[in-house]
Amino acid sequence: MIRSWTTVASAPQADYGVFRVRVERRRSPRTGAEHGFVVLDCADWVNVVAVTPARELVMIEQFRHGTETVELEIPGGVVDPKDASPVAAGLRELREETGYEGEGARVLGRIAPNPAIMGNRCSTVLVERCVLRHPLQFDHSEDLVTRLVPVAEVPGLIATGRIQHALVVVALCLFDLAQRVSPGPSASGRS
Amino acid sequence: MIRSWTTVASAPQADYGVFRVRVERRRSPRTGAEHGFVVLDCADWVNVVAVTPARELVMIEQFRHGTETVELEIPGGVVDPKDASPVAAGLRELREETGYEGEGARVLGRIAPNPAIMGNRCSTVLVERCVLRHPLQFDHSEDLVTRLVPVAEVPGLIATGRIQHALVVVALCLFDLAQRVSPGPSASGRS
pLDDT digit string (tens) for A157-169?
999 999 999 999 9
Identify any residues that bridge with A38 across adjacent strands, giving them in sequence order: A23
B143 and B81 belong to one structural domain: yes
- Whether pLDDT at B57 is above 60: yes
Closest Cβ–Cβ partner in A21, A65, A178 for B116: A65
A35 and A117 belong to one structural domain: no
A28 and A77 belong to one structural domain: no
Binary contact (B114, A113; C-beta < 8 A): yes
Residue B146 DSSP symbol: E
A120/A11 Cα distance (integer angstroms): 18
Identify any residues that bridge with A25 across adjacent strands, giving them in sequence order: A9, A36
The reply to whether B186 falls in a domain is no
Chain B contact present for A137, CB below 8 A? no
Q: What rounded mean pLDDT belongs to chain B? A: 92
A37 and A69 belong to one structural domain: no
A94/A101 Cα distance (integer angstroms): 7
- Whether pLDDT at B33 is above 50: yes
The reply to whether B80 falls in a domain is yes
B12 and B63 belong to one structural domain: no
B78/B22 Cα distance (integer angstroms): 20
Q: What is the CATH number of the domain that holds B142?
A: 3.90.79.10
Chain B contact present for A113, CB below 8 A? yes
CA atoms within 13 A on the CB side of B155: 13
A84 and A154 belong to one structural domain: yes
The reply to whether B77 falls in a domain is yes
| Residue ranges making up the domain that contains A96 | 45-181
Rounded mean pLDDT, B18-29: 95
**Which pLDDT score, from 0 to 100, does residue B143 have?**
83
Closest Cβ–Cβ partner in A35, A64, A173 for B116: A64
DSSP output for B90-106: HHHHHHHHH-EEEEEEE
Chain B contact present for A165, CB below 8 A? yes
The one-letter code for the residue type at B137 is: Q
Q: How many CB atoms lie within 10 A of CB A45?
A: 22
Report residue B186's pLDDT band, with 50, 70 and 90 as the boundaries. Answer: very low
The reply to whether B56 falls in a domain is yes
The reply to whether A188 falls in a domain is no
A184/A154 Cα distance (integer angstroms): 18
**Which pLDDT score, from 0 to 100, does residue A180 have?**
82
A56 and A14 belong to one structural domain: no
Binary contact (B13, A14; C-beta < 8 A): yes
CA angle B148, B152, B157 (to 5 degrees): 75
A37 and A91 belong to one structural domain: no
For residue B119, with 0-12 CB atoms within 10 Å meaning exposed, 13-18 middle and 19 or more buried, which class applies? buried
SS3 B138: coil
The reply to whether B188 falls in a domain is no
Closest Cβ–Cβ partner in B5, B29, B33 for A140: B33
- Whether pLDDT at B101 is above 70: yes
The reply to whether A16 falls in a domain is yes
A14 and A65 belong to one structural domain: no
B79 and B22 belong to one structural domain: no
Rounded mean pLDDT, B139-164: 89
Binary contact (A66, B31; C-beta < 8 A): no
**Which pLDDT score, from 0 to 100, does residue A134 have?**
86
Rounded mean pLDDT, B84-96: 97
A176 and A82 belong to one structural domain: yes
| pTM exceeds 0.90 | yes
The reply to whether A78 falls in a domain is yes
Chain B contact present for A152, CB below 8 A? no
Cβ contacts (< 8 Å) between B175 and chain A: which residues? none
A22 and A61 belong to one structural domain: no
Count how many domains chain B has.
Answer: 2
A103/B116 Cα distance (integer angstroms): 28
Identify any residues that bridge with B57 across adjacent strands, giving them in sequence order: B51, B149
Using H for helix, E for strand and C for coil, what is the string for chain A? CCCCCEEEEEEEEEECCCCEEEEEEEECCCCCCEEEEEEEECCCEEEEEEECCCCEEEEEEEEECCCCEEEEECCEEECCCCCCCHHHHHHHHHHHHHCEEEEEEEEEEEEECCCCCECCCEEEEEEEEEEECCCCCCCCCCCCEEEEEEHHHHHHHHHCCCCCEHHHHHHHHHHHHHHHHCCCCCCCCCC
H/E stretch holding B7 reads: strand B6-15
pLDDT by 10s per residue, chain A, length 191 = 789 999 999 999 999 999 999 999 999 998 899 999 999 999 999 999 999 999 999 999 999 999 999 999 999 999 999 999 999 999 999 999 999 999 999 999 999 999 999 999 999 999 999 999 987 766 656 688 999 999 999 999 999 999 999 999 999 999 999 988 765 454 444 43
